[in-house]
Amino acid sequence: MPDQTIRSSATRSRSELLDTMPSNMTVKEWKRLFSETVTGVEAELDSTAPKSARASLHEFHRRLKEANTKESRKSFEADFDAFLESDKYLKAAAGRYVTKKMVPAFDKAFKVMKKARTLLAKMKKQE
């Protein structure tokens, strides 16, 4: 049931998804998140995608090492978002990557909410 909603939200722009990221991430956490994202998008990239797309993803990996200030991280995020939106191959790869990450997370959240609903109903009956 939540799968359909998840897939439609995976088509949102990456910047909308970034707006939901915790603002109190450490630099190390931020770098790990984006390193995993760049690697994940690269893994999802179609074999027919231009070689320049893979080269650019490698460049983003390099830039991650230098993103130590808030300004440089914001610049990286904006550039990476624009890059992913710049080509149909990249958009598709990012969508596949995000969907693979979101589906399990939303499934877990759905199960937790279901358990909470059951517990709340039991508590109401006990009152």
Q: Is residue 113 part of a domain?
A: no
- Domain tally, the chain: 1
Residue 119 maps to a domain: no
Mean pLDDT by 10 residues, the chain (127 residues): 45 51 81 95 93 95 93 94 94 94 88 92 86
Residue 125's pLDDT is what?
A: 86
38 is a domain residue: yes
In this structure, is residue 14 part of a structural domain? yes
Instruction: Answer yes or no: is 127 within a domain.
Output: no
Q: Cα–Cα distance between 92 and 45 in angstroms, integer?
A: 8
Residue 20 belongs to what domain range?
A: 2-101
Task: Write down the pLDDT at residue 23.
Answer: 65
pLDDT at 78: 95
Contact between 106 and 2 (Cβ < 8 Å): yes
Q: Compute the distance between CA of residue 106 and CA of residue 112 in angstroms, rounded to an integer.
A: 10
pLDDT for res 3: 45
Rounded to an integer, what distance in angstroms lies between the CA atom of residue 11 and that of residue 4?
Answer: 12
The reported pTM is: 0.69
Task: Tokens 């939901």: give the residue.
Answer: 20
The reply to whether 12 falls in a domain is yes
Pick from 87, 89, 1, 79: nearest CA to 34:
79
Specify if 67 maps to a domain. Answer: yes
Q: Taking CA 15 as the corner, what is the angle to CA 48 and CA 94, rounded to the nearest 5 degrees?
A: 20
Count other C-beta atoms under 10 Å from residue 88's C-beta: 9
Residue 20 lies in a domain: yes
Per-residue pLDDT of 3-39, as tens digits, reads 444 444 444 555 555 555 556 889 999 999 999 999 9
